[in-house]
Amino acid sequence: MSVWQAILLGILQGVTEFLPVSSSGHLVIVPYLLGWPDPGLALDTLLHLGTLLAMVIYFWSDLWRLLRAGLQSLRRRSLADPDARVAWALVVATIPAGVIGLLFEDKIEQLFGVPMAAAAFLLGTALLLVLSELLGSRQRPITSISWVDSLLIGFAQTLAIAPGLSRSGSTIAAGLFVGFRREDAARFSFLLAVPVVLGSGLYQLAKLALDGGGGTPAGVVVAGMAAAGISGYLAIAGLLALIRRHSLYVFAVYCALFGGLVLAGVLR
């Protein structure tokens, strides 16, 4: 894979990571449509580290506030602080994806070589987004989150282990299902991505080190990660601004059309 291909995939990763349209699905389907080499799960994960940097920079004040509140709650043995409840809710919601990812890693990696499966899963993302808009009350603030809410959102995040099922889409949809306001559901979704992407990224880096680097030149990886970080930062700001006033239906339509056209062979 060339540097320019990695940059374009990085931009694709950065934009689609935060828009509810599945970054992993696009990283499987787009190279297939263009006849590029399969980037594989390892490069996909490393590009996610670029978007992780974007998340940390954009949400730095939120992350620091939540971390401090969570640590103080341990000392006080109290969850009276709303920020502490959100902080520990993020911890609880992270657990399902970590467990499922470790248990089914081999089967998940096989899906990254099947573009038609990713296209089919995009239709699942479209369905989730439509149902969440139809059924969600969008009234609750995120500070009202409970352990049950956290687990439901955490299990929704496990769906995104399959390429084509959007991580942000499934977690935002779960947040809407339990009644959170659209912007609150999106912010919780983005914050929840930090520990998951960090954990999977470090795991893949360790595997690459043991495998001797995985055969991808360092310059290609760095270029892709930088492109993912810059485009990801812009995508976060854009989506949060958009969903203050608009629904998720436009993303559902996009996922349904893109996935459907790929399955029908129109884009091949």
Q: What is the mean pLDDT of residues 122-143?
A: 93
> What average pLDDT does the chain have?
87
How much of the chain, in percent, has pLDDT values that exceed 70? 91
pLDDT at 214 > cutoff 70: no
7 alpha-carbon distance from chain centroid: 19
Contacts of 227 (CB under 8 A, 6+ apart): 6, 7, 8, 9, 10, 11, 13, 14, 50
Helix (H) or strand (E) holding 235: helix 218-243
Lowest mean pLDDT among 57-61, 129-133, 198-202, 210-214: 210-214
Closest CA to 249 of 80, 93, 21, 75: 21
Cα 176 from chain centre: 16
Q: How confident is the model at residue 149 (pLDDT cuts 50, 70, 90)?
A: very high
180 phi, psi to nearest 5 deg: -75, 150
In the predicted model, what is the mean pLDDT of residues 206-235? 80
Q: What is the mean pLDDT of residues 186-191?
A: 94
- CB crowding 177-199: b at 16 or more within 10 Å, else e: bbbbbbbbbbbbbbbbbbbbbbe
Higher pLDDT: 84 or 206? It is: 84
Query: What are 107's two structure tokens?
Result: 């089967």
22 token code pair: 């599945």
The pLDDT assigned to 103 comes to 74
Which of 69-73, 76-80, 239-243 has the highest mean predicted lDDT (pLDDT)? Answer: 69-73
Helix, strand, coil distribution of the chain in percent, nearest 5: 80, 0, 20
pLDDT at 111 over 70: no
> How far apart (Å, rounded) are the C-alpha atoms in residues 64 and 19?
24
Mean pLDDT confidence for 198-205: 79
How is the chain split into domains, by residue range?
A: 3-264
Alpha-carbon distance of 268 to 32, in angstroms, equals 9
Q: What is the mean pLDDT of residues 99-118?
A: 73
State the pLDDT at residue 196: 83
β-sheet bridge partners, residue 140: 180
pLDDT tier for residue 212 given thresholds of 50, 70 and 90: low
> Once rounded to an integer, what is the mean pLDDT over residues 10-22?
90
Give the torsion sign (CA, 221, 196, 252, 243). negative
Query: Residue 140 — φ and ψ, nearest 5°?
Result: -80, 140
Quote the Cα angle for 230-236-240, to 5°. 155
User: Residues 22-53: pLDDT tens digits?
Assistant: 988 888 898 888 888 777 666 777 788 899 99
Whether 178 has a pLDDT exceeding 80, the answer reads yes
Per-position DSSP letters for 72-98, written without gaps between them: HHHHHT---SHHHHHHHHHHHHHHHHH
